Amino acid sequence: MGEGERETWTTEEFGPSHAGAVGVLLADGTVPDPVLFLSSSGAECRRVSQWSVYDGRSCGGPRAAALRAVCSCGWTGTGRALDWNQSSDGDGEDPGEAAEAVADACGRDWDAHTVEVARSALPLPQTVTALLEQLEREIEKLAKHSPLAAVRAARHLEILAARSAYWPARDIARDTPPEEAAAALGLSPHDARGHLARFGDFSRY
């Protein structure tokens, strides 16, 4: 049935290639289908996979047994069991009270996953990393007393990026297997192809 609406997280570098979320597991270890919510008129139907709707109530989905971090790349974190009796009012029926801490822990699991993704990507030379960091600091300082100059500097960066990446992007698209290029960039093959097409100014198809 696929995924429904839910809160997701991304990083600036990896974007939708590594979009994280809190996933739900039922007592039998399966992943539940999205919960369907009808509009007041009954004309539209929303499909929701947000962990908090799996509370076992009549208006929600089946009760979650565990939560885990999930990523659009296919990675999944370790399941973290829920204790529905740990709610502030003691009735065991408030998923916000019972699972908020567990959901936060899943977010930290995904953070650790993205750190590993960054480590597995092609490392940049230290000289380049240092220059980029220095340039970022200089533009931030510039923005404090001259926002217009900071914007102009950012525009020059855009021009430099387009110019310097044009031929490398075309060379990679021609000579490097898509899976290898994607792994080096820390992206999915689809997103890596899109970035190369943008920098190399060619069709991604």
- Name the band, by pLDDT with cuts 50, 70 and 90, for residue 191: very high
Q: Which of 55-69, 71-85, 106-120 has the highest mean pLDDT?
A: 106-120
d(CA 62, CA 58): 9
Q: Per-residue pLDDT averaged across 24-47, rounded?
A: 85
61 or 133, which is more confident? 133
Q: Per-residue pLDDT averaged across 24-28, rounded?
A: 96
205 or 95, which is more confident? 205
Q: Per-residue pLDDT averaged across 17-27, rounded?
A: 97
Instruction: For the chain, give every domain's residue range.
Output: 15-120, 126-200
- Nearest to residue 25, comparing CAs of 97, 132, 85, 102? 102
Query: Would you say residue 40 has pLDDT above 50?
Result: yes
Instruction: Name the strand (E) or helix (H) holding 22.
Output: strand 20-25
The per-residue pLDDT of the chain, averaged, comes to 91
Q: Per-residue pLDDT averaged across 75-103, rounded?
A: 74
Across the beta sheet with 66-71, what order do the strands follow? Answer: 20-25, 66-71, 80-81
Query: Would you say residue 68 has pLDDT above 90?
Result: yes
What pLDDT, on a 0 to 100 scale, did the predictor assign at position 163?
97
Percent of the chain with pLDDT over 70: 90
Q: Which residues of 122-131 are buried (b: 16+ CB within 10 A; e: fewer)?
A: eeeeeeeeee
- Nearest to residue 109, comparing CAs of 69, 59, 147? 69
Question: What tokens appear for 24 in the block?
Answer: 């739900």
Q: Per-residue pLDDT averaged across 113-124, rounded?
A: 97
- Name the band, by pLDDT with cuts 50, 70 and 90, for residue 151: very high
Instruction: Name the strand (E) or helix (H) holding 69.
Output: strand 66-71
Q: Which of 14-28, 83-97, 102-116, 163-177 has the lowest mean pLDDT?
A: 83-97
What pLDDT, on a 0 to 100 scale, did the predictor assign at position 183?
96
What pLDDT, on a 0 to 100 scale, did the predictor assign at position 56?
85
What pLDDT, on a 0 to 100 scale, did the predictor assign at position 88?
45
